[in-house]
Amino acid sequence: MTAVMIDLQGTEITSEERELLAHPAVGGVIYFTRNFADIDQLNELVRQTRAAARNPLILAVDHEGGRVQRFRQGFSTIPAMGQIVEQADNFEHAQHMAQELGWLMASEILTMDIDLSFAPVLDVNGISEVIGERAFASTAEQVTLLARGFIKGMHQAGMKATGKHFPGHGSVQADSHIAMPVDERAWEDILATDLPPFIELANCLDAVMPAHVIYPAVDDQPAGFSERWLQNILRAQLGFKGVIFSDDLAMAAATAAGTMPERAIAALNAGCDMVLACNDRAGASAVLEALEPRFTEAEKRANRCYEQLAKCAGLGWQTLHNHPRWHQAQSLLERF
């Protein structure tokens, strides 16, 4: 069994959410733009979140940069990763910029006592409607080199890195938030085009998030619900030893696995360590109810995820803003 990561509805915790946070199967919370008003409010929300929980929590956010940056006012504006090469003097400079942006993003999130930003995106920019400039580049080689720098910066700040969306979402057009993408290519094409960043970076990633995409040449289930993708390929062939998060079970593409509880159980059985039940409160409650007979094992798994992914102590907000590296990173942002 595994733990569940839930979301919150607003800028303050409700009484219903306090009950959910006390559930033994809840091991994490993911924040969205709706949860942020300003820095002081976010600090208090995080404090209340941790205080209400039964388990030690992994707190997370999608704060990649570009259009996927949940916290704005008071935070540095991180560019889309696809803009780095365009604004760099040369590719070596682009790698340096990626590292400094990874450090900057992670450092600011850590000051909020949030453990993870689900980054970096390791998708290769191809035809996807939802990836685009979220990807570092349109070739696997450049994605790998730039992402390696970004991961190094995250690690230097004290944050663990989550590669997404395994085995690659960039070569299929449909948006898995609203449709069921099917990548009809042969295994050899996927292996040559999209998998290399995951292969090359498997030993320095701390977590992976699989795509809600079906690759019929490999399996008839989306990757996040596929034992073949998660156990046979990611674990056995690539040697990945970190945490596997499902993508949000409320996304349209996840409906291929049935109801919310059925999706959670399918993701668990495939090999996910923590499932995200977000943007569907009734569905999240149903997932927790379905896991009720296995509370003890769920709580143990939640604690194991926390031990692997909990943040190092971050700098204080004012200390960070006085840090020479923070000021140097601000000068990089002037290029965008």
The catalytic residue among 62, 194, 247, 248 is 247
φ, ψ dihedrals at 30, nearest 5°: -110, 135
Alpha carbons 204 and 175: distance in angstroms, whole number? 28
Give the closest residue to 117 by CA, choosing from 126, 130, 108, 125.
108
Alpha carbons 242 and 236: distance in angstroms, whole number? 12
- Residues in the chain, total: 336
Q: Report the DSSP beta bridge partners of residue 222.
A: 214
Alpha carbons 126 and 332: distance in angstroms, whole number? 27
Alpha carbons 194 and 139: distance in angstroms, whole number? 9
Give the closest residue to 159 by CA, choosing from 319, 325, 310.
310
Single-letter amino acid code for the residue at 243: V
Name the E strands within the chain. Answer: 3-7, 26-31, 58-61, 63-65, 68-69, 116-117, 162-166, 207-210, 243-248, 274-276
247 belongs to the catalytic site: yes
The catalytic residue among 113, 177, 219, 323 is 177
Give the closest residue to 76 by CA, choosing from 322, 323, 321, 324.
321
Q: Which residues are catalytic?
A: 177, 247
